[in-house]
Amino acid sequence: MKMLIADDNRQILSILRDYAEKEGFETVLADDGEKALAAFFKDSFDIVLLDVMMPKLDGFEVCLRMRKRSSVPIIMITARGEDYERIMGLDIGADDYIVKPFSPAEAMARVRAILRRLDRTVENAESQQLFLCGNLMIRLDEFRATINGNELALTKKELELLWTLATNRNLTYSREKLLDTVWGYDYCGEIRTVDSHIKRLRAKTDVFEHPDWVIKTVWGTGYKFEVVRHEE
């Protein structure tokens, strides 16, 4: 498990790092918003602790940019604690917030609570082996998928690829990660096999309209199943 901790207070960074590592996390530290984003886009994290008031880019802007690429859990840290800051943080995609001054033990308890909720969500999806999004239905146990009731003629790997992306909606997967997840660590083929499977998967799904979601290319990184939010 890996945690990104971003705060411009070096003492807080050090304390949170020590507590997180006692919990078994590998940690990456950043003392401004630009460094936090650079670290986030370079690596893969299980959770992020993100201070609101940071130089170069504040925590709100950092959170917004992270959410465009990933659904990783984010806990905002605010020194003020005004309602509008908490509401704003939650509205732009933060999962929780902590108000300074806070106990490092409380921060780790919040981390554990969020990861427990995430584990339960994943377990439920895996146990049901059913995914629904707009007019898309995937039944992994039956190896079938439909769009608006229309059966998709997917191969086993194409369906597993769609399932992996869809059940991790808005999370960007690198080609290497998809290769490991869908084909397995012992697969010795070309990494471009992911691209060819994505191309065929898009061709088959795009026969039918699906306005609520899209299989999106994240240039330089990989792919994600993006849920489309329509303006009212």
Using one digit for the tens of pLDDT, what is the confidence trace for 96-125? 888 888 899 989 998 988 888 766 555 555
What secondary structure does DSSP assign to the chain, as a single string? -EEEEE-S-HHHHHHHHHHHHHTT-EEEEESSHHHHHHHHHHS--SEEEEESS-SSS-HHHHHHHHHTT----EEEEESS--HHHHHHHHHTT-SEEEESS--HHHHHHHHHHHHHHHHHHHHHHHHHTEEEETTEEEEGGGTEEEETTEEP---HHHHHHHHHHHTTTT--EEHHHHIIIII-TT--S-TTHHHHHHHHHHHHHTTS--TTEEEEEETTTEEEEEEPPPP-
Q: What would the mean pLDDT of 159-181 be, rounded to a whole number?
A: 89
The residue extents of the domains of the chain are 2-123, 129-227
Confidence category of residue 231, pLDDT binned at 50, 70, 90: very low
CATH class of segment(s) 2-123:
alpha beta
CATH class of segment(s) 129-227:
mainly alpha
Q: pTM to 2 decimals? A: 0.55
